[in-house]
A = this chain, B = another copy of it.
Amino acid sequence: MDTSWTRLGLIAGGGTLPRLVAQACEADGRLGCVIALSGFADPADYTDPLVRTIGQFGHVVEDLRVAGCDAVCFAGIVTRPDFRSFVPDLEGAKLLPKLLAAAVRGDDALLRVVVKAFEARGLKVVGADELSSSLLAPAGMIGGDVDAGPHQPDIAKAMQMAAAIGALDAGQGAVVCDGLVLALEAQEGTDAMLERVASLPENIRGTRQTPRGVLAKRPKPQQERRIDLPVVGVETVERAAAAGLAGIAVEAGAALILGSDAVDDAARRHGIFVIGVSPDS
């Protein structure tokens, strides 16, 4: 257990991840409060959450202080606000020039400003994986019982493509089939990218009957790793299978697996693999 902090506030966006983080943190008795971001998190998923908009930076910092938090974790899906119609509170407004300047550089640049703003208030920013180490993708087989060996060239190339677009601060995912780059992820997200692959002509992709091709997800090489690590869940597995892919590759130690048993079950059921690849392999 990390003893550098005593009480944590969870800032929750959408999806399953923040619920898993809240459970893990509650289990070790250090959950100070949950701040459910309006429009992203469902407050009904949490016990006594505070509901705030993403512009209410000052209110959130005050919520954390009142709850006695000395640490904060950001988890879940949050999309970029429209800064032209953004309604910040007073502290949020002070942050706005920095946010605007960073926004044009990319999502990672934007998130770094947010992290620094919380750190400047004396809060330790903790990654979801630090709260629940079981979330972090290990090296080797994570799900399924398919031999990933024959797909090694596609795994390697998809990982290389994901790193390349990550270095551009454009996205974290890529799909490669028999060496051909089928799709690169930007603001549409992984689910939409996989839907698109499923609608490509069958001659350049796999099918459920003859799966081929690999989805790779990995963090941007330069990104702030305490926020926005790539996530793989049951839905990712289902969509990858529907797109005719043979498997999913993530960077070991740098991706979150949302329920490793559930992901393994789904991968077996759909006949695909989920594998953790060491970054230097």
Contacts and interface: CB of A to CB of B under 8 A. Distances in A.
A82 B192 CA distance: 24
A202 B80 CA distance: 10
Given A82-B202, A203-B81, A204-B82, A168 B181 contact: yes
A200 interface: yes
Classify the secondary structure of A's interface with B: loop
A24 to B, nearest CB: 30
Interface string A165-178: 10011110001001
A184 B196 contact: no
Copies of this chain, how many? 2
A106 interface: yes
Nearest to A82: B203
B187 A106 contact: no
Interface residues of A, number: 37
Interface of A: 79-82, 85, 103-107, 153, 161, 164-165, 168-171, 175, 178-188, 192, 196, 200-204
22 contacts: A82-B203, A82-B204, A85-B203, A103-B178, A104-B178, A104-B179, A105-B179, A106-B180, A106-B181, A164-B164, A164-B165, A165-B165, A171-B181, A175-B186, A180-B187, A181-B187, A182-B187, A183-B188, A184-B184, A184-B186, A188-B196, A196-B196
